[in-house]
Structure 1
Amino acid sequence: MTASQILKTSTYLLSALILAACQPSAPTDASVMSDDSTTVDTPLVITDDSVTMAPDHILSIKPSRYQPSIGLQGNLEPVKQIKLMTVHPMNIEDVLVTEGQLVEKDMPLLIVRRVRSDDSEATSPNPTDNNATTAAKRPQERELMSEATDTEKSENSDNSKSVTAKDKSSDVQESDASVSDNDDNTSVKDNVINSGDNESDSKSPYNLVTIRASFKGRVQGLSIKAREQLAARTPLLQLNDETQLYFVSTLPIQAKPQLSIGQTVNFSVDGQSDNFTGQISKLTVTSQPKKLLVHVDVIENKASRATLLPNMKVIGRVDYGQIDVGTIVPERALHDVDLAELHKPPYKPLIPLTANVWIIGQDQRLMRRPIEVVEYNPTTKQYLIAGISNDSLICLADLPIDSNGKKVIVS
């Protein structure tokens, strides 16, 4: 081979080597396993006394500080509310308010008339006569009652009567639903008034009664109409004082040692980002089933007055104890637990969830340890757990129950 041929051959070989070096490397079947992987492909070898596993199955402790807390949820209710219903059959002469209207104390709400079964004229009154009677008496009945007395005005005529929720002389039954320290739940106090049972009423079956607001509040549950005849025990309306609200949360009885009256509760309203503050006012234990009812009074301020209304759903938390240290783990480390509750805001359970985790002790033996799941991080898709000491390792493998006590061999 001549020198020129050798030179040409060398040039071709050098060009081939350069091209080969520039080509991308062939794909590999090996995959890098991250901590939040759901599976590990490395096989396990389980014998009567040992479990052989790859390092991919073992996780070192990753500590994280957190504040222990318990979640609370419920619906806002007014501390002060009144539900009115008929005691006897009656006619609704006029409805002076509308659904959702805010009324002042002593403001007239309804004008009603007792229907007497012993008087056919009262049971089936002449519409013309009724209109004339109502029109003649309306100005007198709409006079506001004096706050200085709860009795009838002496100036009222014998044929008309004006009452508030505090009077004891009406055909309306009032249920005052307010928080009571003597009852397990919200108590209901019934005040029944019987205006149609006295002698003067028996002579005057066309008596008109004006029902007035006993406090400032908002009208709710109003479904009656003027000229409607109602049977006994028919609901009329509900009056809510929206300035003072509370909610009741139901918890397992195991949460009682962590809670006490006076603890601060931070909460938000469903669908809103604003935060509000409440205070535990009462802890009640029910008998069947045994549960803990946590009563939380809303602390009134400018923000709460502008936003919070009855029947709003609230979600809150109350802190307890000192700052603690937990461990961060992927989902595959947790066994025997339903984590669905944690996958939506606030990413914390009402109370810590109980789960099981396999740990490797200093003697290299496996132990199945019960722990508490405290929180979920949607960004990292990892969980904060409590109950693991720092001198242990976590096994990510899903092992059979009889692996407890077996020695771990890493290969």
Structure 2
Amino acid sequence: MAEAPSEPIAFPFPDPPSVCELPPELAEIRDGQSVVEVKFPDGISGWMVTKHADVRKVLVDSRFSSKVMATAAAAMSETETGKLMNESLVGMDAPEHTRLRKLVTKAFTARRVETLRPRITELVGQLLDELETLPRPVDLVKNFSVPLPVRVICELLGVPAGDQDTFHAWSNALLGDWQQVVEKEAATVSLVNYFGELIAVKRENPADDLISELIAISDGDSTLTEREIIALSIGILSAGHETTANQISMFLVTLLHNPEELDKLRDNREAIPKAVDELLRFVPLTTTGGIIPRLTTAEVELSGGQVLPAGAVVLPAVATANRDPEVFEDGERLNVTRENNPHLAFGAGIHHCLGAQLARIELQEALGAILDRMPQVRLAVPESELRLKSASIIRGLESLPITW
């Protein structure tokens, strides 16, 4: 068994000097211990796993439970937020997870999602039309990166256009810093109440949207309750737009930070699908790349001989797994034409991101259109002035002033 440090490492780590860098502690852990004990702000200790093989094991091995972790969180709090976590797909294990996921998977098949591309292309064009009328510099976050995925996911769910800005505010609070308990609870209560009312409307007047489809399923399947529809809708809303909204801006600033890679895309639009997957690998969604910790239900041995006991909190560091030199050649370098790219940005196993293909399409269409419409796009401020959002689980920019 590998020797562990005598004291847990404080987590989360401090922000690096540049928004395009990762905390150096991550690489030090991966290239040193590979599994280390960390202490979270609430005083709980857990284990951070950083190698690709071990992170994948945490994501696919049933001994690493999402349900037990979510149940423990809910037990510590009788809040709506805690209950919702326990009722969401990310907080479930098989077979409960299998039953619910099967009901919504058909809405996210690659074939069905691909049919949304023309509408996504249209929305991208509309937003860029509006953006080009604004005085420069323009904040890409406010005027493009946020509204695009909000509109896409709300149309998919069947949320009226007039409610979309409010929805984003609630979702942003829901995925805010884990210490913002009051804000999270208020947002959760608002979302639960809103979806309860929307379901009642859709039940009377069904439309061609996901919520109406789930209602139809529930009418014929008594195992799908209204509460489950609410939890599914909130999960899809939050995961389906907050992540992509931040990735659009982070991907662009990363390309601007790597001009030789950006030039490859300027010269070859056919490379954009590969580039999006490379950016998914290279640009982490959170500080560690992972969001949901797991709890071991039995003793588990990892690849380096480290044994984790039953009942251990485990945080899979996808960010370092996606740069593991044993898997990715020159993994610390962005390469938009990378061929072999088994990244874990969308997770793995039963919790592989339901909307992975939808996210890919949005990111492909967004980056392609920006390069077509603004071939000379550039930062309007020094990169050193850009700031990451200070109170968010998701790693994103407060603003991204650009000109062209």
Give TM class, smaller chain. under 0.3
Question: Whose radius of gyration is greater, 1 or 2?
Answer: 1
Q: How high is the TM-score relative to the length of structure 1?
A: 0.22
| Greater helix content | 2
| Greater strand content | 1
